[in-house]
Amino acid sequence: MERWSLQQRIFCVEQFVLSKSIVSVQRDFRRKFGDERQRGAAPSRKIIGQWVRQWRETGSVQVKARTRRITARSPENIQRVRRALERSPRRSVWRHSQLLNLSDRSVRRILHHDLHFHPYKLHIVQELTAAGHSTSRHGKCTWEMAAMT
C-alpha cells in the first residue's frame, strides 16, 4: 500500500504550481487531509520535490511500476545447474559456477530456491561410549597427576 494516494500527490503538485512554496503546500495539505490519527502528517520537502520533478519530466505523478527480470534463475540455467550437479555431485558450488559461467551467488540461489538443495556437510566423529570415555579420561587424569608430582 502506498503512503500517499494519487489524489494527495496531485493536490501537492497543483498547490506547488500555484504557490511555488513547499511550506505552503505542506500547510494546505495538513488543512485538507489532516486528521487526528495522522497528527497532521504531510509529505516531506524531498517527496514534494520529487513529485514536482516527476510531473515536469513525465506529466504524471503516478507511481512507476517496479518490475525486475530474473535473468540468472531462468529455466535454462536451472536445467544447466541440475545437469552439472548430476554429472559431478562432489564438485564445489564455486567450481560449478566457474564452469557454468554464472556467479557463485546465483548458483547457490538456484540450488536453494529452485532445486531445494540445502548446504550440509557430513562430519565424521568418533563414537563415545560411556565405559570407554570415563575410563580413558580417568587414566589420562591419573597420568597427568603422576607427571606433575
Euclidean distance between CA atoms 124 and 127, whole angstroms: 9
pLDDT at 68: 75
Measure the CA dihedral 137/140/142/147, to 10°: -160
| Cell numbers found for residue 103 | 556467479
Mean pLDDT of the chain: 85
More confident call, 106 vs 149: 106
Q: Which long-range contacts (CB under 8 A, 24 or more apart) does 38-45 make?
A: 43/4, 43/8, 43/12
Euclidean distance between CA atoms 48 and 27, whole angstroms: 13
More confident call, 103 vs 129: 103
Euclidean distance between CA atoms 49 and 42, whole angstroms: 13
The whole-model pTM stands at: 0.45
pLDDT tens digit sequence for 58-116: 888 887 777 777 688 899 999 999 999 999 988 999 999 999 999 999 999 999 999 99
